[in-house]
Each structure stands twice: as C-alpha cells, then as structure tokens.
Structure 1
Amino acid sequence: MGYGVVEVVQGKLKLISMGVVKTSEFNTHYDKIHHIFQRTLSLVKQYNPDEVALEAPFFGKNVQSMLKLGRAQGVAMVAALSLEKQVFEYAPLKIKQAITGSGSASKEQVAYFLKSMFKIEILPKELDATDGLAAAVCHHLQERNPLKRSGASSWSDFIKKNPNKVVK
C-alpha cells in the first residue's frame, strides 16, 4: 500500500513524505491487514493530516484479489477515522486523470508527472508510493475545484450561479 503526505504552503503543494507499507513479510491475509491498520495509525499520528484521501476499490477480474484489496482499504480507512480524520475516496480513473489528464494513464506515467511536479530526483522502486502521492494530489486539486466549492452540478450551472465570474 502506497502513501503520500503533502502540505499546502502558500497555496502550493509541498511533498512531505511518500512510501510503501509492505506486507510481504507476513504469512496470512489477517496479519497483513493488521499491519496495514497499525502502520496507517502510525502514519496518521506522525503526520497529523487534516484529511486522508484513499483510492476507492475498483473492479477487477479476480474476485479474491478485489476482496483482499477492499479489506486493506477498509482497515486503512478505519485507522484514519479512528483518529477522527475526514476520509475522501477517489476512483483510480479520477486520480490518474487529475495527475496526467488521462484516466487510462499507466503507473509509470503518473509517477513521471509527479516526479516533474515535485522535482523528485529519484523515484521510489515501488510505484505504489507514487500512487499514494497521486491520491493526495488528486484530493488537493478536487478541493480547489470551483465546481465543488460552489455546489454547482456543471459548468453551465456554475455560470448561471456566478455570472460575475464570467469574462466576456
């Protein structure tokens, strides 16, 4: 499971940390999700974020893999919620689109865009780390979106509700 921590400094994003919660050393799925829970608790306590963004479960071909992934995402969510952090979920397509402009971008393309955005010299070996960072960046971009802040359902609705913001 990848994670990324960003801070907004004078309206700009600053990379604080990114990494991977590794579970390969654990034998059972239960031990793995327990480790994810404990490590997520530790990260939230360490960085004390205002909000937590997660990649929402996605549909795959292997039902067992989906179930395990959903459980891992669930325990990460509960860890953040147990520390009274607000949790936001974004579909993988939405995250990729926010970072690269394309919902079908590869992990490598997402990593490349983030490397450029944050001037990262060397990318981590595990691209799950940049996936976690991408979720954080996506959340920041969504929170700045004028449509979301205004409560408008579309750009047409936004213009109707905010005619003073339209330049003719």
Structure 2
Amino acid sequence: MTAVRILGLDPGLRITGFGVIERHGTRFAYVASGCIRSGEGTLPERLATLFRGVDELIATYRPTEAAVEKVFVNLNPQSTLLLGQARGAVLCAALLGGTAVHEYTALQVKQAVVGYGKADKVQVQEMVTRLLGLDATPGPDAADALACAICHAHQSTHPYAAQAVRRRGGRLLVPPPSRR
C-alpha cells in the first residue's frame, strides 16, 4: 500500500499554518508542521510571501494532495476580503505546484478530528496531538492545518467517499444503490 502525502493549509494573511502528514491505509504519520509568516509590507508583498512559502513547502515535502480550510465570513468585511486574498495566494501556489486541492469548512474539519463541529482550538490541538502521536502540542495555526490534512485523510478513506455526490453539515450523502 502506497503512502499518500497530504499538505494541510490554514490560510491567514499574517500567519498561514501548514501541516504535512502521510496516510498509510487508515493510519496517519506526522511529517512536518509550522507557520508561514507574511511579516510587514504592502498587501502584494505579503501575498507573494505566502505564495512563495507554499511553493517552497510543495518543493520540499512533495505532497500529492492539499487540504485547505474554506473562508468563513467575519463581522468585518475588510478582514474577510483580506483573508480571501490570502487564501487565493495559497490556493494558486498549491495548484501550480501540481497538487490536487480539496476544501473543507472549519465545521467539517472539527467534526472529523474532534467529533464536534463547534470544538475550540485547544480541543483541536489536543486531538491532533493524540491522533498523530506527537510529543508536544503544535501551535494553534499548525494544529488547524494538521487537522485539515487529517480531515481530508478521513474523507478520502471513507468507504463511500468515491460515490458521495454532496455533503451536508460535514456528512457524506450517499446515493441509493443502483438496481440492476
């Protein structure tokens, strides 16, 4: 059975978390995690930093798939727009790096990792630590990215994942069996 390497990304304009895992059947192995910090500068410079950071991760770790957290709408429309632009830079870098990109909402990620869609960051960090057998708890941004990768690994190993036609509330909706 060949291993599948998954890059999880939690986009943010200041800090983008990343996590790399390998899926061996139904087991997961930790590879790396951390953060890309865009620093100070103009918006285009910061977006370029995120793009180059993801590009470097892909060159270093050679993932075959990427899982990216979807944007949620903030109360502040300006923050939502900035986050969307950061997410766009991350998505473009992943696609141009040759990885298949899959997107998940925060609710789907938390449901897959913690079992509760409204779990807090500490619960996500604890479950990521347990699921990957880590010696230390990753920071919140790296843990969110690892959780996104774990979510994708769970979804892609689900026995009905290939047949599922849509998702509702983080659950797969499976079409009825064909009657031949």
Deviation readout 1:99-152 (Å, 9 max, x if unpaired): 01111011111001011111212223x310000101100000011122222346
Gaps of 5+ in 2: 1-15, 167-172
Matched with 1:81 is 95
Deviation readout 1:19-51 (Å, 9 max, x if unpaired): 11112x322222211100000000011111111
The answer on 1:47 being equivalent to 2:61 is yes
Greater gyration radius: 1
TM-score between the two structures when normalised by the length of structure 2? 0.81
Matched with 2:159 is 146
Measured in 2, the distance between the counterparts of 1:118 and 1:86 equals 23
Q: Of 20, 33, 45, which residue of structure 1 is paired with 2:35?
A: 20
**Residue 11 (structure 1) shift:** 3.6
TM-score between the two structures when normalised by the length of structure 1? 0.87
Measured in 2, the distance between the counterparts of 1:92 and 1:120 equals 22
CA root-mean-square deviation = 1.7
Change (3 A) 1:93 1:151: closer
Identity of aligned residues (%): 31
Measured in 2, the distance between the counterparts of 1:49 and 1:29 equals 28
Matched with 1:166 is none
Higher strand share: 2
The answer on 1:59 being equivalent to 2:73 is yes
Measured in 2, the distance between the counterparts of 1:81 and 1:66 equals 22
